[in-house]
Structure 1
Amino acid sequence: MTVTFSNARLLDGRLVDVTVTGGVISAVTPAGEVPARGEHIQLDGHLLIPGLWDQHTHFTQWAQSSRRVQLGEAQSAADAAAMLASYADAHPDGDLVGVGFRDALWPDVPHFELLDEALSHGDIGDDGPERRVVAVSADLHTVWLNSAALKAHGFREHPSGVLREQDAFAVIDALDEVSVETVDRWVHEAAEAAAARGVVGIVDFEWGYAPGDWLRRFAAGFDELRVSAAFYPDRFDDALSLGVGGGEPLEESGLLTLGPLKVITDGSLNTRTAYLREPYHGHTGDGARGQLTVPPDELVALLRRAVRADLGAAVHAIGDHAISHALDAFAITGARGSIEHAQLVLPEDLPRFAALRVTASVQPEHALDDRDIAERYWGARCAHAFPLRALTDAGAELALGSDAPVAPLDPWVAIAAAVFRTRGDRPAWHGEQTVSVERAVQASVRSSIAVGQPADLVVLGADPREADVAALRSQPVVATMLAGRFSFDVIR
């Protein structure tokens, strides 16, 4: 299949014709210089950019999230319990899973008894309620269970029903309220929706074993996106058994590749477990500085193993102390990869990203979700929070993503957050850390518009450089091409 896009405007201002043949770009010439080949699509000066990537997702959870009870608007634990109870009344069968709550600023404390009482309307049998309820926090680092769910997940004697970090991850991974066939259908639908926003690829950090899930899906015909499927330390041997290095194809189409080893070294801001050099405001004693969940020597050992296997590494580090430890481990081992989130970065650590060639994989929308929580618990340290401009000025490579379902899987939401540092009427939060549209787009792609590059392309319906924050968040996309074929288009 050969397609020529005529009179395409590039972000650098050039007006060109771009020809695609066999899944790659075969020609880029000044507009009108040579006759169009194959199918001819006249763009009339519309912007053509490389295909967009979401470089941090939990894709299965994202596909499921819209079907779960939305708790993002809850202003208290009591609110969240009432929302779950209301949904339960309207949907009397099956377990309940709520998503998206943020408890860091709640005036009350979540507890399993609150869920038990709300969902039973005060009528609880001797053995407690039978219906299991699990509420997953927006940052995915906390789960709140009722007594039935606590029993089912092996936490019968837990004092509060609120589980954090590794215990929370285990519960999330075990949620199975729908069948694999249903989830895979939802994954297809979510991928089609992503393509409509210009997405050609994702990095999937889903818990469990993402390479295995995606091998199943691609064998069944999935072809809507490129997928880099990451894995966790407990599945290292399974990843090695695939017999490929990092970034190498796992199946015939070449769209599925083995992603990096993912290591979670600290917690999150909302859960107050991101690992800091100084305590969270108002916190004392053990845990006042958060949690370092992987000690430095263990992290070094894991990265060394990744190096020996020719695999990349993606190290989750949010707090400033965790980020310092992660950079130290990259320096010691020479591993290649990224620090995921990089939310609170010490000024002296900024240049180390470029020096070590460690990508800062960031999710700009989190800054807008977390600004009030950060101000309360990090205070003046917020001058170094989500430091996109500072990282860029220090020479770091940025990679933008969503951490979906923590934020929507929509690259224009992330780009707008990076460019404006607000999403409504509030003033920009630390506007000195904004970046340009061009820089944000560059951090959202993995290819370029040049001969020999993958034919992953997006046609835009408006110039994002002329958009205000609302327009940029809803940036119109009129076509998405993946490997030389259209995964979405309204122009033909």
Structure 2
Amino acid sequence: MVLLGGKIHALLPAGDPLPEDVVEPLEEVRLDGRRLGPGLWDAHVHFTQWVKARRRLDLSSTLSAEHALTVVTQALAARPDDGTALVGYGFRDGLWPHPPSLAALDAVAPDRPVILVSGDLHCGWVNTPAAGRLGVTPDEFGLVRETEWINANHAMVLETAPDVTHYREAADDAARRGVVGIVDFESADNVVEWPARVAAGVSALRVQVSVWPDRFPGAVAAGLHTGDVLDPEGLITFGRLKVVVDGSLNTRTALCHDPYPGLDPAHPHACGVQSVSPAELRGLLETAYGNGIKAAVHAIGDQANQQVLDEFERLGVPGTIEHAQLVSADDFERFGRLGLVASVQPEHAMDDRDVADHHWEGRTGRAFAFRSLLDGGAELHLGSDAPVAPLDPWLAISAATGRSRDGREPWHPEQNIPVSVALDASTRTRVAVGEPADLIVLDHDPTTLSPEKLRELPVAGTLLGGRWTWRDF
């Protein structure tokens, strides 16, 4: 393989002379039997949240509200009060025996702001000092959910902001796992911030950036279109309008046809939360597609997915549905018929299998239903939703093909997809002349490995546009 100008220039049998148009000196790299393939993409990342989560107090292993409070108490004792909040990340209360408590969190931290971010990013558990500083109104449990919380979390001013070094470290770590590109759905001024990061040396990834509705009018006024290149290096492109129409499973706000267990059907949010109505979504989609901007719509519950499918069908435009976690049986074929992408995060099925069995009891045969989506004709894109799951495509590939982790029996194994399909859903290029030289070098053929081995598959090298972003041979 000859790489020139950031692209694959030629593919030749071993020992053949170089093409006549290759006149500049070339570095020779011998792979010694290793496997060369296209670099990996993570189709759904919140990159700043991922960078922040790597530095926040880890709550991912907490099994109850009481356990979380113990971890917080220990952290408060070990970390002197420097005027910033204590921020934790990763609690999942969907199966906790007792709910969180505002009073209990105030008791362990009466003066210092404490902010605990849920593992799904859709709610926060805050104490009274933090609520006052953030300008939010928690309920009796100390919880702030959905739009109010998402806005507060993305505008967090009570913790030290990550600097460019932290972004570079996170991007370099992704390259070590074979990642060449991400789709960043951070709610931020991505059009400005990502080119500035590249200029400051965060250059290990290609990034397709999104715009949320609050900045969408500015993108339209600036004449931005999906696919526009935003930086001199050609690493950052303008992507899609991101719209969040419902909540999440762990926060019990995903919009479903059936009520959540234990909630009175008359409760205003018994079936979840509708963050954006179909009429509002229709207006956003019409404006976006009328101005050359494609859309990616977050929909987790089956009612939310049905509504989003209805709007795409009504307008007759292609698009992406992010998550598609619970889909009505009659709706799978609509993905293919409408030419839609199902952007899914398979590791969520491993994280959420127990909470799904409880809150979506009797419906999990169509939850995280990757095979049904594939058979329905959907184009699959795999991602992590980092920090909800780690930014590591091999975890997604393993979960999509084995639906098992930690030695447990596979969960709904009929929804497995082949490794070849999972790999295709994790890449954007081919090993072919004229394609970008975004490549990975592996010691093993991933199509021959078990799901367990895929999780820990080492990457020997990663090339982005023909330059090494990681090399270990």
- Paired with 1:438 and 1:200, the residues of 2 have a C-alpha distance of 19
Q: Which amino acid aligns with 2:71?
A: M
Q: 2:15 & 2:354 partners in 1: Cα distance? A: 52
Q: Percent identity?
A: 47
**C-alpha distance in 1 between matches for 2:17 and 2:89:** 54
Alignment of 1:260 onto 2:204: no
Take 1:178 and 1:143, find their aligned partners in 2: how far apart are those partners?
A: 15
Which whole-Å deviations, capped at 9, do the CAs of 1:158-211 have from their partners, x for residues lacking one?
Answer: 54320110111022112234555x432211100000000000001111123222
1:225 matched to 2:225 = no
For residues 57-76 of structure 1, the aligned pairs below 5 Å read 57-76=45-64
CA contact (8 A) 1:282 1:377 kept: no
Equivalent residue, structure 2, for 1:479: 461
Alignment partner of 1:116 is 2:106: yes
CA distance in 2, matches of 1:476, 1:160: 43
Of 1, 19, 25, which aligns to 2:8? 25
Task: Give distance in 2, aligned partners of 1:212 and 1:238.
Answer: 12
The alignment's C-alpha RMSD in Å is 1.6
Match of 1:426 in 2: 408
Rounded to whole Å, the distance in 1 between the matches of 2:384 and 2:138 is: 35
AA at the equivalent of 1:52: L
User: Residue 11 of structure 1 corresponds to which residue in structure 2?
Assistant: none
* Number of the residue aligned with 2:352: 370
CA distance in 2, matches of 1:31, 1:345: 49
Q: Give deviations 1:256-295, integer Å, cap 9, x for gaps.
A: 0112100000000001111111222333222111112111
- Of 424, 441, 445 in structure 1, the residue corresponding to residue 427 of structure 2 is 445
Contact 2:87 2:159 in 1 (8 A): no
What is residue 134 of structure 1 aligned with on the other side?
115
1:422-443 deviations in Å (ceiling 9; x for gaps)? 1121100000111111111100
Corresponding position of 2:68 = 80
For the structure 1 residues 272 and 408, does the alpha-carbon distance in structure 2 shift closer, same or farther, using more than 3 Å as the test? same
Q: Which residue of 1 aligns with 2:195?
A: 215
- SS of residue in 2 equivalent to 1:233: coil
User: For residue 194 of structure 1, what is the amino acid of its counterpart?
Assistant: A
Look up the match of 1:395.
377
The correspondence for 1:360, drawn from 314, 334, 342, is: 342
SS in 1 for 2:224: coil
Aligned to 1:44: 32
2:171 maps to 191
Mean CA deviation greater in 276-285 or 323-332: 276-285
Q: How far does residue 346 in structure 1 lie from its aligned partner after superposition?
A: 1.4
Q: In 1, distance between residues paired with 2:13 and 2:379?
A: 30
1:146: which partner in 2? 127
Aligned to 1:270: 250
Paired residues of 2:134 and 2:156 also in contact (CA < 8 A) = no
Deviation at 1:240, TM superposition (A): 2.4
Which one is further off, 423-432 or 217-226?
A: 217-226
**Does 2:165 align with 1:175?**
no
Structure 1, unaligned runs of 5 or more: 1-17, 120-128
Please give the secondary structure, in 1, of the residue aligned with 2:71: helix
Determine if contact 1:266/1:319 at 8 Å carries over to the other structure: yes
Q: Counterpart of 2:286?
A: 304
1:13 equivalent in structure 2: none
TM-superposed CA distance for 1:32, in Å, is 4.0
Shift, 1:29, TM fit: 3.1
What 5-or-longer segments of structure 2 have no aligned partner? none
Query: Contact (CA 8 Å) 1:313, 1:335: kept in 2 or not?
Result: no
1:118-158 superposed Cα distances (whole Å, 9 cap, x missing partner) = 23xxxxxxxxx331110000000010000100111123675
For 2:413 and 2:60, the matched residues in 1 are separated by 25
Aligned position for 2:277: 295
Give yes or no for contact 2:136–2:148 (8 Å, CA) kept in 1.
no
Q: SS of the counterpart of 2:11?
A: strand
Tell me the amino acid that sits aligned with residue 154 of structure 1.
Answer: G
- Give the aligned partner of residue 97 of structure 1: 87
Distance 2:229 2:202 in 1: 15
Quote the Cα distance in structure 1 between the aligned partners of 2:173 and 2:49. 15
Where does residue 3 of structure 1 map in the other structure?
A: none
Matched, 1:251 2:239: no
**Hey, what does 2:182 align to over in structure 1?**
202
1:162 — aligned with what?
Answer: 143
Partner Cα distance (1:32, 1:394) in 2: 45
Contact 1:266–1:317 under 8 Å retained in 2: yes
Cα distance in 2 between the residues matched to 1:369 and 1:472: 17
Q: Distance in 2 between matches of 1:52 and 1:110?
A: 39
Give the aligned length: 464
Contact 2:6 2:437 survives alignment (8 Å): yes
**Deviation larger for 345-354 or 402-411:** 345-354
Q: Which amino acid aligns with 1:163?
A: V
How far off its partner does 1:229 sit?
0.9
Structure 2 residue identity aligned to 1:49? G
Matched residue type, 2:270: A
Within 1, Cα distance between the matches of 2:15 and 2:339? 40
Cα distance in 1 for residues equivalent to 2:18 and 2:229: 35
| CA deviation profile, 1:243-262 (whole Å, cap 9, x unmatched) | 33102101111110112100
Change (3 A) 1:31 1:390: farther
Judged with a 3 Å threshold, the aligned counterparts in structure 2 of structure 1 residues 409 and 156 are, in CA distance, closer, same or farther, namely closer
Taking the aligned partners of 1:140 and 1:163, their CA distance within structure 2 comes to: 11
Give the partner amino acid of 2:6.
Answer: G
TM-score, structure 1 normalization: 0.91
Equivalent residue letter for 1:222: V
1:314–1:339 CA contact under 8 A, matched in 2: yes
Q: Residue 330 of structure 2 aligns with which residue?
A: 348
Matched-pair contact (CA < 8 Å) for 2:183–2:207? yes
Contact kept, 8 Å, 2:99 with 2:141, in 1: the verdict is no
Please list the CA deviations of residues 300-320 of structure 1 after superposition, one character each: whole Å capped at 9, or x if unmatched.
110111101111101000011
Structure 1 SS opposite 2:29: strand
